[in-house]
Amino acid sequence: MAVRNGVGTGLALSLHRGGKGVATLRPYKTPTLILTILLCLTMPVFAQMTIQQTLDAIGPGATMSWDPLLRTGAFNAGPDTAAFITGDPGEMSYILVNYRQVYSAPSPYLENNQLYFPTDFVSNLQRIFGRQNMVPGTIPQAQSQAPSQQVPGTTEGTNEEAFHISAIIIDPGHGGKDPGAKGKHSIEGKTVEAVEKNIVLEVSLRLEKLLKAAYPGKKILMTRRDDSFPSLEERVDIANNVPIAGNEAIIYISVHANASLNEKANGFEVWYLRSDYKRNLVNPDDYADRPELIPIMNDMLDAEFNNESDVIARSILSRYAEEMKDSMQNRGIKEEDWFVVRNSRMPAVLVELGFVTNQDDARIMTGEEGLNKMAKALYNGIGDFIKNFETQ
């Protein structure tokens, strides 16, 4: 499905707002010409708009992608996305705004292998993107548009209600009866045991403190705060049961340490879910009246979460590399379907802080300065993502 960043299946057609040679409405000076234009605008020939007319109506920089297999598409303008599915002429359909809120609108449709968009649909797009351009086929302020009806299970949203991160889940791996990976080393004449469950908890508690100080309005939640052992299912349940509104989002950060039989293996890495792994993210009850929408909406949401997980992973990796400089190897971004990552219904990453089996990494991970650096790196990476997400 080609709705964003090439994520999904099918063929993608990318269109940009036209330049020279594209028909646009221009002001006319004589009353006769003005009257003629207004009369023409009320004729049925303008009851729908082509792709290019719709892009012109949204404004400069607007693009559209289209998946001919799923018959879905998405308009993009700046940081905002409005995804849609096609139906029959006159039928009602849905617009999925920024992969978070869903509104009903007249359905785009295919006719002779060409896409057409009802003028009411385009008017909704203009409101979504905050554009005031005149829509071909309508007379500005001549009639009020009926508000889009909201789909059950979503929250009323306007441009004033910005999307924001409302909760951050910090998941220190292992704990209690499960120590995780271990490594024993002689560091500065002392025998030091690097135990994963202790290291990740210490870093997570420091991260929690930094996040709470910086974001007092957000929920900063820990899956464990002591040497306890919540099951993998319990960790995921904590995250998935946080109540959020339609303009809110949650992110999940799982913190671990690595190990290897090769004591020379070292460095940090960040994991997120494989792009070909499909999660069930949509509540079927929200679409009881249109069950055919469930797989489409699920694919769209899954693509968005995967994209955001990738951004979080890269933000954390960049900040970790910046903090550690040459003291640790950057092992990059990796994909895997870890339990907590694949079962959390939100953007999620798993961070491997370093190798407890490597002496140099262990020195950093067990020292006060190293613990602070690791927590700061995670904090700054998360902060970069939040800034990017909330300023869109």
CA distance 297 to 67: 14
Indicate whether 168 pLDDT > 80: yes
**Which pLDDT score, from 0 to 100, does residue 99 have?**
65
pLDDT tens digit sequence for 353-392: 999 999 999 999 999 999 999 999 999 999 999 998 887 5
| Domains recognised in the chain with CATH numbers | 15-129 (3.30.457.10), 164-390 (3.40.630.40)
Label residue 5 left, alpha or beta by phi (over 0 means left) and psi (-120 to 50 means alpha): left
Decide: 183 and 266 in contact? Cβ < 8 Å: no
Cα–Cα distance, 374 to 327 (Å, whole number)? 12
**288-347 pLDDT tens trace:** 877 877 887 788 788 888 889 999 999 999 999 999 999 999 999 999 999 999 999 999
Taking 3-state DSSP, the helix, strand and coil percentages for the chain, each rounded to the nearest 5, stand at 35, 25, 40
- Least confident range from 28-42, 221-235, 272-286: namely 28-42
Q: Is 68 exposed, middle or buried (0-12, 13-18, 19+ CB in 10 A)?
A: middle
Class of residue 237 by CB neighbours under 10 A (exposed 0-12, middle 13-18, buried 19+): middle
Instruction: Report the first-to-last Cα separation within the chain, whole angstroms.
Output: 23
Neighbours of 120 (CB within 10 A): 18
Residue-wise pLDDT for 358-367, tens only, equals 999 999 999 9
Question: Which pLDDT belongs to residue 293?
Answer: 74
**In the β-sheet with 48-49, what is the strand arrangement from edge to edge?**
48-49, 114-118, 109-111
Q: What is the pLDDT of residues 213-223, one digit of tens each?
A: 999 999 999 99
Strands 248-258 and 348-355 come out as parallel
The pair phi, psi for residue 151, each rounded to 5°, is -75, 135
Read off the pLDDT of each residue in 15-21 and give the average, rounded to a whole number: 32
Q: Which of 28-32, 123-127, 195-199, 223-227 has the least mean pLDDT?
A: 28-32
Q: Are 75 and 62 in contact (CB under 8 A)?
A: yes
Identify the top-confidence range among 26-30, 274-278, 364-368: 364-368
6 pLDDT exceeds 70? no
- pLDDT at position 80: 82
Task: State the chain's mean pLDDT as an integer.
Answer: 80
- Residue 11 reports pLDDT greater than 80: no
CA distance 313 to 315: 5
